[in-house]
Amino acid sequence: MEFLPLFHKLSDHPCLVVGGGVIASRRAHILLQAGADVTVISPEIDSTLQASVDDDKIKWIRSLFDVDALAPMQPKLRLIVAATDNDTVNQVVADYAADHNIPVNVASDASKGDVIFPSIIDRSPVIAAVASGSKSPVISRLLRGTIEAALPAHIGKLTDLAGEYRAKVKSVIGDMNRRRAFWERFFQGPAGAAALANDSDTARSMLEESLENFDADKHPGEVYLIGAGPGDPDLLTLKALRLIQQADVVFYDRLVSKPILDLCRRDAKLVDVGKARSNHTVPQDQINLKLVEFAQKGHRVLRLKGGDPFIFGRGGEELEELAKSDVPFQIVPGITAASGCAAYSGIPLTHRDYSQSVRFITGHLKNNTCDLPWHEYAHENQTLVFYMGLVGLPLICNSLIEHGMKAEMPIALVQKGTTPEQRVLVGTLETMPELVKQNEIKAPTLIIIGEVVNLHDKLAWYRSAE
């Protein structure tokens, strides 16, 4: 992150703009909107600045950049903007600001300053801003338009109402997590809708009623069992994203990618319960009990699993414990690794010419064996997908050949599918064990076996970081 986004209170504080052209005028008027006491220094100014000077909104020092002229205001300056059309002058201004520890924006070259002006969406007191590090103003403008369209016109009214009742709600609801849940129900419910419709009286009445009926003895905890998909955060469902951003406590597996974890609330408690082969950070029965424990304390608990929680994800075991303890829960399916990795590898799991069925198989069972009904798998015109089968790959390949599948049957290994680190290795049942040794394939890796693998070269579309 090159720039840390901050919101500065500039009301009645002196700010200096060096320059008198169009860019300087834009910067000056943004500062005016923030309530700053703006002074412009320039031999000449454009008509827009001149109008503001005439209206006594802006002070004008009619001269070149002059250090001596700044002496009286220098100790109180909160921000300097260098916006001339002369790079040398802009550099002098930037050096002056650095020498006096004053934040500076260099309009023509963001790298020479330490402040940038973002694209601003003003729904006061709600303010949103987006920036591209001054690398692409067009992107910033397009994003601003998207956010403008998404923000309700009266979101400020809703925010003012929340501010009005903030202290009262805190006095009634002492627990922070329960208070946060109360506000989210208010914002997303009929009271929030009334405020957004500019009906503050109705919204205020509903808020009062909710506070009067609040029961401090109830603990409305809940568990969200969510499939995070195979890695790409863009594959999350909208409901999954919403619940991820609401959760107070997050229990996550090792297959959940960092970009997805970054979507969680910053103040949420993150608990790593990742399980690798023969290395369980937290045993499954303890995970089950922890979900119950935190939910019964009133927390909104997120159980985040790679792929889909009901496909080799032990989601059913966890829900059995929740149901037994009368803990409410929601389930949000995710894109399982088979679908995600196959799609990002250009390998259709079914195809009229090659495969009329697909089977999802775990590569190791609960007793850590791979004792499977191989005779059912050794048929053509179907696709086999093995989860967690990398360690047992030689056994898988040999067993399928021994039970009648041809040694030339295509097989693909997809490592870290759908992520920038995705790798796809293609071979046959006969050659793949040796190819794995030569290419240092590591978990997590999905195994796809069947004639559909031959379509990889033709249909591969995803380009990983490699």
Per DSSP, 307 falls in state B
Residue 249: partners with Cβ closer than 8 Å, 6 or more residues away: 268, 269, 271, 294, 299, 300, 301, 302
- Quote the CA–CA distance of 385 and 449 in Å, as a whole number: 6
Q: Is 35 annotated as a binding residue?
A: no
The span from the CA of 265 to the CA of 246, in Å, is: 7
* 43 annotated to bind ligand: yes
Judge whether 336 is annotated as a binding position: yes
Q: Is 275 marked active-site?
A: yes
Cβ–Cβ under 8 Å, residues 422 and 406? no
Check 57, 59, 269, 275 and give the catalytic one: 275
Q: Is 313 annotated as a binding residue?
A: no
Task: Extract the tokens encoding 246.
Answer: 């609401």
Helix axis angle, 155-172 to 176-188, nearest 10°: 150
**Residue 340 assigned to a binding site:** no
Secondary structure E strands in 158-241:
222-227
Given CA atoms 332, 338, 340, 341 in this order, what sign does their dihedral have? positive
Tokens representing 378?
């050794």
Dihedral (Cα; 342, 345, 351, 354), 10-degree rounding: -110
Q: Is 306 annotated as a binding residue?
A: yes
Q: Comparing C-alpha atoms, which of 14, 125, 159 is closest to residue 80?
A: 14
For the record, the structure tokens of 330 come out as 């929601």
Flag whether 308 is marked binding.
yes
Give SS3 for 446. strand
Beta-carbon count within 10 A of 42 CB: 21
307 annotated ligand binder: yes
- Is 99 tagged catalytic? no
Q: Is 417 annotated as a binding residue?
A: yes
Distances (CA, A) of 276 to 73, 282, 431, 439: 62, 11, 27, 21
User: Per-residue DSSP letters for 71-137?
Assistant: TTTGGG--EEEE--S-HHHHHHHHHHHHHTT--EEETT-GGGSS--PPEEEEETTEEEEE--TTS-H
Given the residues 253, 290, 305, 416, select the one marked as catalytic: 253
Count Cβ atoms within 10 A of the Cβ of residue 170 and give its class: 0-12 exposed, 13-18 middle, 19 or more buried: exposed
Residue positions in the annotated binding site?
22-23, 43-44, 230, 306-308, 311, 336-337, 388, 417
Residue positions in the annotated binding site for NAD(+)?
22-23, 43-44
Residue positions in the annotated binding site for S-adenosyl-L-methionine?
230, 306-308, 311, 336-337, 388, 417
Catalytic site residues?
253, 275
